[in-house]
Amino acid sequence: MRIAVLGAGSWGTTVASILTRRDHESLIWARNPATAEEINAKHSNGRYLDGFPLPSRLRATSDLAEAAAHAELLVVGVPTGAFRTTLEQVRPDLHPWIPVVSLSKGLERDSLLRMTEVIKEVLPGHPAAALTGPNLAKEIMAGMAAATVIATEDLTVATAIQQVFRRGLLRVYTNHDVIGCEVGGALKNVVAIATGIAQGLGVGDNTRAGVISRGLAELTTLAVAMGGEPHTLAGLAGMGDLVATCISPQSRNRHVGEQLGRGRRLDDILAEMGQVAEGVKTVHAAVRLADQHGLAMPITRTIHRVITGDITAERAYDGLLSTHPAGHESEPG
């Protein structure tokens, strides 16, 4: 199968490598022509996956129209802020009816749409799916075992995509609950910022465990309010992705939180990273969704106040777990 992967970051490049090793004819689009040239000439992507050789058969281009015309399956791994614009640009050159798979975990800030909803809005008639789960790119490139989920309402389509992605130690499951899977993938980044702050402040593992657990309750509550199924958030797209993102030093969102906990300014942290930490943008949309559905979501709201500069990270942890008297554990808050 001819597959185009849009976005040559760490995860996009990893997915393109997986697909190439599955003997698919993969073409990866890189916004930066120098990155595309490096992939073609040196079979490497030093900025995002330094030290990991890429398959020699993997081709790259900086021509978005070429990538779109190549695709019998389109995989989109650009940041959520560029997701809609990228789809609009590929639309004239895209073959009709081909499936479009989102790798991007977040919410569109203005519309509050999930990425599969953006796909359906911009590319009507194309089956939309999301690939999500605890998938740290460098571990997968190193050949470590991992599990992921392909989520789409049509399980026939999901099964077909599952066969495309499955390889070696990467175990691919299907799920019909797209809402639950996408909300879990988006909101876990916000909770990861919170647990990163805990790490930076050195407040203890008990506190981090409490934040992760109550964070899972928050993202479950929001997913269900939006129409998702609660048990989805106990699986790979919820708890699995949440744990990996909150505890791994490879997590960009955890890193942002850790640096905030050490007293650094957000702008300086993001400028130094040179990469997108989706939780920084997602938290704005998450608070608006919480307002729409009348949800407390104290962790999300507290991190929003940190990101907007209303309170310091240290002040956030003074009351993050005690904003009001605790009720039954099954209740939000």
Q: Is residue 115 packed enough to be buried (19+ CB in 10 Å), middle (13-18) or exposed (0-12)? A: buried
Check whether 97 is labelled as a binding-site residue.
no
Residue 91 annotated as part of some ligand binding site: no
To the question of whether residue 31 is assigned a binding role by annotation, the answer is yes
- Name the token pair of 77: 């791994």
Q: Is the dihedral of CA 285, 278, 80, 145 positive or negative?
A: negative
Helix axes 298-307, 278-293, angle to 10 degrees: 130
Cα distances (Å, whole numbers) of residue 247 to 60, 193, 198, 244: 33, 11, 11, 6
Question: Is residue 133 marked as binding?
Answer: yes
CB 191 within 8 A of CB 218: yes
9 assigned binding-site residue: yes
- Contact between 148 and 132 under an 8 Å Cβ cutoff? The reply is yes
What CA–CA distance (Å, rounded) separates 128 from 8? 21
Which one of 120, 138, 188, 281 is the catalytic residue? 188
Using the Cα atoms of residue 62, residue 137, residue 116 and residue 288 in order, give the sign of their dihedral.
negative
241 is in an annotated binding site: yes
**Was 106 annotated as part of a binding site?**
no
Helices within the chain (DSSP H only)? 10-21, 33-42, 46-49, 64-70, 80-90, 115-122, 137-141, 155-165, 178-201, 205-225, 241-247, 252-261, 266-273, 278-293, 298-307, 313-319
- Ligand-binding annotation for 253, yes or no, is yes
The reply to whether 137 sits in an annotated binding site is yes
Does the annotation list 188 as a binding residue? Answer: yes
How far is C-alpha 317 from the geometric centre of its chain's CA atoms?
Answer: 25
Q: Is 188 a catalytic residue?
A: yes
C-beta of residue 177 within 8 angstroms of C-beta of residue 151: yes
252 among annotated binding-site residues: yes
The verdict on whether residue 12 carries a ligand-binding annotation is: yes
Binding residues for sn-glycerol 3-phosphate are: 105, 133, 188, 241, 251-253
Binding residues for substrate are: 105, 252-253
Binding residues for NAD(+) are: 7-12, 137, 252
Binding residues are: 7-12, 31, 48, 105, 133, 137, 188, 241, 251-253, 276, 278
Catalytic residues: 188
Binding residues for NADPH are: 10-11, 31, 48, 105, 137, 252, 276, 278
